[in-house]
Structure 1
Amino acid sequence: MQVSRIVPSLLAVLSLATPSQRGGSRYRVTADNAWFFQDVAGRRIARLARGATLAGGATRNDWIQVTLDGWIFSTSVGKSDKPEFDLLVTRTPNENLRAAPAGPLVAELAEGFGLKRATPDSSGRWQHVTREGWVQRSALAPVADVVATRTAVTSDSDNVQGGPTAPPAARGGGGGGDTARVDSSRAQPLRMTTLYRAPDGPEAGTIATETPLRVLSRNGEWTRVQFEGWVKGGDLQAAPAGVLVGVTAAELRAEPQRYLGQVLRWNLEFIAIQKADDLRPDIPSGSSYVLARGPLPERGFVYIVVPENRLPAFRALTPLATVQVTARVRNGRSRYLGNPVVDLISLEGGGGTP
Structure 2
Amino acid sequence: MSLTDTVARPQVGPGTDPVADPGPDWAAEVRELAGRRGAVLLAHNYQLPAIQDVADHVGDSLGLSRIAAAAEAETIVFCGVHFMAETAKILAPDKTVLIPDAAAGCSLADSITADQLRAWKAEHPGAVVVSYVNTTAEVKAETDVCCTSSNAVEVVESIPADREVLFLPDQFLGAHVRRVTGRENIHVWAGECHVHAGINGATLSAKAAEDPDAELFVHPECGCATSALYLAGSGAVPADRVKILSTGGMLDAARASTAASVLVATEIGMLHQLRRAAPEIDFRAVNDRASCPYMKMITPEKLLRALREGRDEVHVAPDLAARGRAAVQRMIEIGQPGGGE
Same fold (TM over 0.5): no
TM (norm. structure 1) is 0.26
